[in-house]
Amino acid sequence: MTDVLRRGRASLAFSFFAQGVAFALLVTRIPAIQDRYAISDALLPVFLAAVPVLAGAGSVATEQLVRRLRPSRLLRWSQPVVLLALLGVGAGGEGRVAALGVALGAFGLAVGVLDASMNMLGVSLQRTYGRSIMLSFHAAYSLGGIVGASLAWAGAHWQLALWVSYLPVVVVLLPATLVGSRWYVDGGAAAGGTPGGTVGEGEAPGGGGTVVFRLLLPLCLVMTFTYIGDSTVSNWSAKYLKDVLGSSEQMATLPYNVYMVTTLVGRAIGDLGVRRFGAVAFVRLGALVAAGGFVVVAVAPGAWVGMLGFTLLGLGLCVIVPQTFAAAGRLFPGASDAAVARLNIFNYVGFLVGSPLVGALGDAWSYRWAMLVPMALVLVTLGYARSFAAQPARYGGGHERPRTVDVGPGSSGL
């Protein structure tokens, strides 16, 4: 591969990493944000729900914007907005709820554009490489999440003001991402064009095809169900260990960290598994491992067995989302950018649905039994696994490649 592609891959991985840091710093300090702005428990869910709703709107806007602008340009300018909005969240104080709303609104809209454009570039780079590399980008995001959560823990431990915790991160990441954005590689640039340029006359960043939603729908459902499972871990793992399995408060903080670490490990080695066994088999394996993790959590007699279940969940769920984006790119090779943007919306749908769904079932029924609902939804992925099979896609500059290493020629029969 050329140096242009190597630099493009490294700069995009750093963008994923920076986004993981920023998002973790926001979501792990929600209690501190609530205290700083004196937000009531009744009002807090409104603010929290607004972020994924606006992110979905940003993803919808991205589908329209990429008809005129390269995804690299959208990524280059949306990432600084996310970082500055994070700093804006930390800069306010009691009585400045409107300022918090503006900062979170900017964060949500920019995140939608950022997530969509990052994955567009990842899909186009994977197409150019001709083998699975998508998991490595999401591994960088997981690493960023671990770093961000660790920094948030340090800020809470030392009782630092939010802006004091956020400012050094923004000061480091903002110029670094701007410099790194010089080497982003769009699909057309990978074929010999100019990296990061605008769309020229007669060009379309995602190709000239059309996304048929009926064909994309199975992947949208898989994305939604996976994020329902993910949000179950992020929102309910601590409460489950403490209230259901009787762990200490200190131990109850561990499941999400373990989940993030196993997610990083699974994604770091996942591309090798996809190349060896094919996307269909690997996604099916991930769904079965994740379902097994939910079963272990549901029947766990104690906290340590529950921790094992959350570990399995991290290993299983981590492979599905990157492969879902990659599958959308293969399914619509002439309109991959539009397909990724539309698919990305269902990331936020799952996040919005997952937490209240499990909470309502837990309160009305039992939190043990509630864990079986996301398990059943994850298992639905098995029925849609053929959507991850190899498609007759064009690689690079429209030239056919004789093989598709990322999915394997025999994977559709598994």
Instruction: DSSP for 250-265, please give it.
Output: TGGGHHHHHHHHHHHH
What topology is assigned to 1-182+198-205 in CATH?
A: Growth Hormone; Chain: A; (1.20.1250)
The token pair at 129 is 């490489």
What is the reported pLDDT for 209? 66
pLDDT the model gives residue 364:
85
Half-sphere exposure of residue 208: CA atoms within 13 angstroms, side-chain side? 4
Strand partners, 395: 399
CB under 8 Å to 266, separation ≥6 — which residues? 286, 314, 315, 316, 318, 319
Q: What share of the chain is helix, strand, coil (3-state, %, to 5)?
A: 75, 0, 25
Taking the C-alpha atoms of residue 368 and residue 17, their distance in angstroms, rounded to an integer, is: 34
- Reference 222, options 269, 290, 140, 144; nearest CA is 290
Rounded-to-integer distance, Cα 286 and Cα 276, Å: 15
Q: Other C-beta atoms within 10 Å of 27: how many?
A: 17
Q: Is 254 exposed, middle or buried (0-12, 13-18, 19+ CB in 10 A)?
A: middle
CA dist 90 and 353 (Å) reads 27
Task: Name residue 399's beta-bridge partners.
Answer: 395
Could you check whether 1-182+198-205 and 209-395+403-409 share the same CATH topology? yes
From the list 29, 20, 31, the residue with the least C-alpha distance to 164 is 29
Fold exhibited by the domain 209-395+403-409: Growth Hormone; Chain: A; (1.20.1250)
Q: Which residue has the tokens 């640039």?
A: 189
Domains of the chain: which residue ranges? 1-182+198-205, 209-395+403-409
Per-residue model confidence (pLDDT) at position 231: 87
Report the C-alpha gap between 390 and 402 in whole angstroms.
12
pLDDT of 355 reads 78
pLDDT of residue 365: 86
Collapse the DSSP code of 246 into the 3-class scheme (helix H, G, I; strand E, B; otherwise coil) and give the result.
Answer: coil
Compute mean pLDDT per 10 residues along the chain, 414 residues long, and list them: 88 97 88 87 84 94 93 96 96 84 95 97 93 94 91 86 94 97 79 43 47 91 94 82 79 78 92 91 94 95 92 93 93 90 94 86 88 93 87 39 36 32
Q: How far is CA 23 from the centre of its chain?
A: 10
How far apart (Å, rounded) are the C-alpha atoms in residues 184 and 163? Answer: 30
DSSP 8-state code for residue 241 = I
CA 295 to chain centre: 24
| Contact in structure between 56 and 349 (CB atoms under 8 Å) | yes
The predicted structure's pLDDT at residue 64: 93
- Confirm if 110 and 253 have CB atoms less than 8 A apart: no
Q: Phi then psi for 399, rounded to 5 degrees?
A: -90, 140
